[in-house]
Structure 1
């Protein structure tokens, strides 16, 4: 993605930003790259951004975004999803394949890629389906998608588990040849059941809601890390949600297996008790879990067992979400609020510093996805994909102010600490002082 054209724009001088592992400094951005760092003065042609007290991060990268286009433009489009991403501090997002038609061909991948380029607010990198039509039976055009203009490197049937072990093995063997990775939605369908809609436990019984147990996730995670070892290939565990899954990933890494894992902001904070009101906003897959799982996820993110934070931004139209809980669509918004949630949960608690946030939300996701122009150090000559954060800002989330088309926002009314001030994509502001530029 680093070969995309650089839009001509006036130079920008970011004055007095806190740099990771260093004192505050001025950063001059011009022609898409970082030109100078130090104590600098702006000339008449340079725009100055006052960054006193703000933290400068490499632009955020989301491994797990649903943009809904093509097929469900009533819920989200590449344009509106890109706006939400930019407001959230993202400079690159990976668009999941469960669109209509499914992104299971080179042509479909290039269409999503070109839509992202035409919008130009973030780099939109398509995720290719593992199997044709997400049916779990026949491999999709993995090689052709990898060789297409979109250069797909991440493949996932997200929304559905690649539950057939033979198909998963073949997929891992196939992507190994070009350095690809399979991102798995870990959920054994025989243990989850067709009507399961929440975590299986005492509360699901009290509420009369069909639940699925944590083992439905953990058994697939365990199987897949063993397949990754057998094939000498790469597997990525999407939206880890249980303490058991954390232990499997931790064991696999200790064995030298090439496994990475992500956690969503909502699984770092929200718990099953929110289901007592039967609010379908909180219906998500994998489901919200008890507090003991949430605590395990936080600890695993802090110690590096979980590599990345990914939003699983899942917008839905009102007519899909506003139903009885058991009938409502799975999913919630996440792009605009991910950084404030992580700042509130992990930074405010002292479990992570801003350098850790940069690793989990930019550097490591970019490495997993193979995005060479993102997640780079803030250094002279590096691409100017940058996010400026106000670490002390108090934000009260208002779903009606979202730039997403959808309103299934689980953070509505919550106060969070930390806010995106500005976002720059190759030196061009997409967001300035919290507003779309």
Structure 2
């Protein structure tokens, strides 16, 4: 059926309207719309947003299909309301050549659940020694515009400068995992009172902040774009705010878990709370929320990091770092930002769809919910409340910090260019 009529949806959380989809585009938005033969979806006041875009997803394929594949990861994305995700380069082999990024791109096209844009590695093998084939990856079928060694920091200032200079030629962006390696050797959690009491190696805030400070200055010097991955400290917020005040072309992201959880959770020694960068203090959490609200932090990105059961069900020191996040991100943002009054639903659309699409140049995504635009949409039951049950996840992995926690909101429908990928909370 080529036509879909979404009746009575609160577009961007505003007044109830009808949205008529014809094929892959939105034909009309208004009240009292009708279309003969159209499939009708009774929204009943649910919130309608542009499809979400995640600039920071780990799909693990190729090489770690035991934790996630492009297919299972995109199914998880559709379940969470995403219509486009950017797949990080730390696969096996590393996505540092045109051949590997094209493989990931094709797998995304075959999945059909959301668009997959590969992120290319900055350096060969993520080793930080030699620039990868940035130009070849950009010119490939995948059209890579975002480059990152995420999981590792590009800690060599000369390499970072060269990368910024290279991507400037085609309007690309380097996304930095800000972690000074010498300051975080043996780090297990945030450095502070809790780490001292637990006897766990500390990951100091300055290890993040010093790299961000260096990189915004390099971006200013080169005149290029730099993006800060998973910003996590109050000090980092102040550095980015200062850089923006100088007109430096810097953008930054925050993860849902850094908006909600603190290092106090580590007292349980449950490795589900082990993540990089680590959970920080309540003061940091509050600073991150305020910065996302005022635009200092541009976007929310999940850093969806799936791991098989055996990599998390072990002692803390041996456990892998990371959390799954695609299927809970919108609920966490609703709780921390909407229900606290820091953002309205239009603000959520801006931080989780419009701006990530702009930063990553995701054509057709993050567009207004208006006539003539691609029908990439998500319908959210904002009144829903329920406990998180990872057994129902579409992701291949279950390493969520929210198991059993009650969160608000539930994605009921997702459309990718007019094709339903999620219907009544179930994958199409």
User: TM-score, normalised to structure 2's length?
Assistant: 0.99
Aligned to 1:284: 275
2: distance between equivalents of 1:100 and 1:14? 42
Matched residues in 1 for 2:247 and 2:209: separation?
19
Question: Take 2:91 and 2:426, find their aligned partners in 1: how far apart are those partners?
Answer: 29
Q: Distance in 2 between matches of 1:323 and 1:243?
A: 31
Could you list the per-position Cα deviations for residues 120-161 of structure 1 after superposition, in whole angstroms to 9, with x for gaps in the alignment?
100000000000000001000100111111000000000000
Distance 1:236 1:65 in 2: 15
Deviation per CA, 1:91-113: give whole Å up to 9, x if none.
00000000000000011110000
The SS at the match of 2:414 is: strand
Task: Tell me, yes or no, if structure 1 residue 357 matches structure 2 residue 348.
Answer: yes
Distance 1:171 1:95 in 2: 19
For residue 64 of structure 1, give the secondary structure of its aligned residue in structure 2.
strand
Contact 1:42 1:48 in 2 (8 A): no
How far has the Cα of 1:269 moved from its partner?
Answer: 0.4
Match of 1:168 in 2: 160
Q: Give the RMSD, CA atoms, in angstroms.
A: 1.0
Structure 2 residue 59 is matched with structure 1 residue 77:
no
TM superposition shift of 1:26: 0.7
What does residue range 131-210 of structure 1 map to in structure 2 within 5 Å? 131-193=123-185, 195-210=186-201
Describe the SS at the equivalent of 2:99.
helix
CA distance in 2, matches of 1:372, 1:70: 25
Match of 1:45 in 2: 37
Structure 2 residue ranges without an equivalent (≥5): none
Output the CA distance in 1 between the equivalents of 2:398 and 2:15.
40
| 1:23 CA displacement | 2.4
**Structure 2 residue 93 is matched with structure 1 residue 101:** yes
What's 1:10 paired with? 2
Matching residue of 1:410: 401
Counterpart of 1:237 (choices 225, 228, 235) is 228
Residue 301 of structure 1 is matched in structure 2 by 292
Secondary structure of the residue aligned to 1:331 is coil
Residue in 2 that maps onto 1:381 = 372
Aligned residue pairs, count: 428
**Residues of 2 paired with 1:371 and 1:86: CA distance?**
16
Corresponding residue number in structure 1 for 2:421: 430
State the alpha-carbon separation in 2 of the partners of residues 326 and 143 from structure 1: 39
Structure 1: 5+ residue runs without aligned partners? Answer: 1-8
* Aligned counterparts of 1:148 and 1:40: Cα–Cα separation in 2: 46
Q: Which moved more, 1:321-330 or 1:235-244?
A: 321-330
Mapped to 2, the partners of 1:29 and 1:290 lie a distance apart of: 45
TM-score, normalisation: structure 1 = 0.97
Q: Distance in 1 between matches of 2:35 and 2:200?
A: 64
Matching residue within 386, 395, 399 for 2:390: 399
Task: Indicate conservation of the 8 Å contact 2:13/2:48, yes or no.
Answer: no
Alignment equivalent of 2:209, drawn from 205, 212, 218: 218
d(CA) in 2 for partners of 1:143, 1:366: 21
